[in-house]
């Protein structure tokens, strides 16, 4: 496999971008090779031939000619605990065998999966090792393959993400999401202008100032066309993750419901109020509150109504209306489902308990 840097150092200094051409070497026998790029993300344009990518959990991805793809390998923080062997000369790390030959003051490199080795520690010592794991991708090139690769820093994706992307958690937002815990991969067919530009930059060496400017202009136009692609404005197939701002929106949604128990609610209205799309709203309530949005609302309504009945602040019909039930029968059914008795039975039970407490006093 041959990798030719098309941009030299000039393009790398421009917004952290670099440009390369990937081709099979003359002696290549189409065997598997590691994906050679380690930058945050890459956008690749398959001009000729074809390429197969092998990604963990995603399997084989075939990219035919006249297609482009975006790839970002997720980085996941790990912490491992190790119990020392009783011989005092090695420690077993779950999933990573045994580590050795590393300065005990420095964590081992977990970018590669180590084989069984030994790590010297004091006897009966207990340690924790933190590291950074990275999905590894392999590739296979067909004969005559020609792939143009633009390496992009995370800052570019963060710059192009809009509030709408974050709200609907589109593919564009997913690439730079700090909570992403898997490799990002997306492919699409090249539009005519994208194919024209990607083919043109393979012939530009940037040897002079004017050529360098032409090359940079073409690369930036390619990036603009890709980031504006309607296909990247769709949500990913897998469930989107919940980020810190999503957690704040979920808390706001819960507070909004509790403050407006008497109102009629819809997912669309709640979503607009807290600026969180309906999918993540439903998913978040299941994860954080172990119930649905309307299950949470019903529970809070019943708790409020019970409090009003205990404190004799309202009659049954008034309590029902205060928590959004115009039909007393519907209120009674919901109350029984929550507390195992209807409101009148609850009032009678509470009255007996108060009388018993007064007699004992």
Q: 14-23 pLDDT, tens per residue?
A: 566 888 888 8
pLDDT at 358 over 90: no
User: What would the mean pLDDT of 205-213 be, rounded to a whole number?
Assistant: 79
Is the Cβ–Cβ distance between 263 and 324 less than 8 Å? yes
Token pair for 118: 């030994």
Dihedral (C-alpha) 256, 258, 262, 268: value to the nearest 10 degrees? 40
Of 31, 28, 20, the C-alpha closest to 139 is 31
Is the Cβ–Cβ distance between 254 and 296 less than 8 Å? yes
pLDDT at 163 over 60: yes
Q: pLDDT-derived band of residue 30, with 50, 70 and 90 as boundaries?
A: low
Delimit the domains of the chain by residue range. 2-74+137-233, 77-133, 244-355
CATH topology of domain 2-74+137-233: Jelly Rolls (2.60.120)
Of 135, 138, 227, 216, the C-alpha closest to 188 is 227
Is the Cβ–Cβ distance between 108 and 97 less than 8 Å? no
For residues 182 and 71, give the distance between their C-alpha atoms in angstroms, rounded to a whole number: 11
Q: pLDDT-derived band of residue 229, with 50, 70 and 90 as boundaries?
A: confident
pLDDT at 124 over 60: no
Q: Are strands 138-141 and 33-34 parallel, antiparallel or unpaired?
A: antiparallel
> Which pLDDT score, from 0 to 100, does residue 193 have?
95
pLDDT top residue among 215 and 45: 45
Percent pLDDT > 90 in the chain is: 35
Q: 264-311 pLDDT, tens per residue?
A: 999 999 999 998 888 889 988 988 898 999 999 999 999 999 999 988
User: What would the mean pLDDT of 75-85 be, rounded to a whole number?
Assistant: 41
Question: What's the CATH code, domain 244-355?
Answer: 1.10.10.60
Angle between helices 293-310 and 278-289 (to 10 degrees): 50
Token pair for 254: 């819960």
Q: Does 244-355 match 2-74+137-233 at the fold level?
A: no
pLDDT at 192 over 90: yes
pLDDT at 11 over 70: no
3-state secondary structure the chain: CEEEECCCCCCCCCCCCEEEEEECCCCCCCCCEECCCCCCEEEEEEEECCEEEEECCCEEEEECCCEEEEEECCEEEEEEEEEECCCCCCEEECCCEEECCCCCCCCCCCCCCCCCCCCCCCCCCEEEEEEEEECCCEEEECCCCEEEEEEECHHHHHHHCCHHHHHHCCHHHHHCCCCCCCCEEEEEECCHHHHHHHHHHHHCCCCCHHHHHHHHHHHHHHHHHHHCCHHHHCCCCCCCCCCHHHHHHHHHHHHHHHHCCCCCCCHHHHHHHHCCCHHHHHHHHHHHHCCCHHHHHHHHHHHHHHHHHHCCCCCHHHHHHHCCCCCHHHHHHHHHHHHCCCHHHHHHHHHHHHHHHHHHC
End-to-end CA distance of the chain: 90
> Which pLDDT score, from 0 to 100, does residue 130 have?
37
- Phi then psi for residue 10, to 5 deg, are -65, -50
User: How much is the mean pLDDT over the chain?
Assistant: 77
């Amino acid at each position: 496999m041959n990798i030719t840097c098309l941009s030299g150092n000039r393009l790398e200094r421009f917004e952290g971008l670099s440009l390369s051409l990937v081709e099979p070497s003359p002696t290549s026998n189409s065997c598997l090779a590691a994906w050679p790029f380690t930058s945050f993300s890459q956008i690749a344009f398959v001009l000729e031939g074809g390429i197969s990518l092998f990604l963990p959990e995603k399997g084989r991805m075939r990219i035919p000619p006249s297609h482009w793809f975006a790839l970002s390998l997720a980085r996941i923080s790990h912490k491992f605990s190790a119990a020392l062997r009783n011989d005092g000369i090695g420690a077993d790390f779950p999933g990573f065998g045994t580590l050795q030959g590393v300065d005990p003051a420095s964590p081992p490199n977990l970018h590669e999966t180590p084989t069984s080795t030994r790590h010297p520690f004091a006897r009966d010592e207990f340690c924790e090792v933190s590291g950074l794991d990275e999905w590894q991708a392999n590739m296979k090139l067909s004969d005559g393959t020609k792939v143009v690769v633009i390496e992009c820093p995370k800052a570019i994706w963060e710059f192009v993400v809009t509030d709408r992307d974050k709200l609907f958690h589109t593919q564009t937002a997913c690439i730079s999401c700090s909570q992403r815990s898997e490799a990002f991969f997306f492919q699409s067919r090249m539009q005519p202008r994208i194919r024209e530009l990607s083919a043109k930059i393979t012939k530009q060496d940037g040897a002079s100032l004017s050529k360098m400017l032409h090359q940079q202009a073409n690369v930036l136009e390619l990036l603009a066309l890709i980031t504006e692609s309607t296909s990247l404005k769709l949500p990913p197939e897998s469930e989107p993750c919940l980020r810190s701002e999503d957690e704040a929106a979920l808390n706001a949604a819960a507070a909004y419901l509790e403050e407006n128990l008497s109102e009629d609610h819809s997912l669309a209205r709640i979503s607009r109020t807290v600026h969180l799309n309906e999918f993540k709203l439903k998913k978040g309530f299941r994860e954080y509150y172990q119930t649905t949005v309307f299950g949470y609302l019903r529970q809070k309504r019943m708790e409020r109504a019970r409090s009003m009945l205990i404190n004799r602040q309202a009659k049954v019909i008034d309590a029902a209306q205060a928590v959004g039930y115009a039909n007393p029968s519907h209120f009674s059914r919901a109350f029984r489902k929550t507390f195992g008795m209807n409101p009148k039975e609850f009032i009678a039970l509470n009255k007996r308990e108060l009388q018993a407490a007064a007699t004992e006093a």
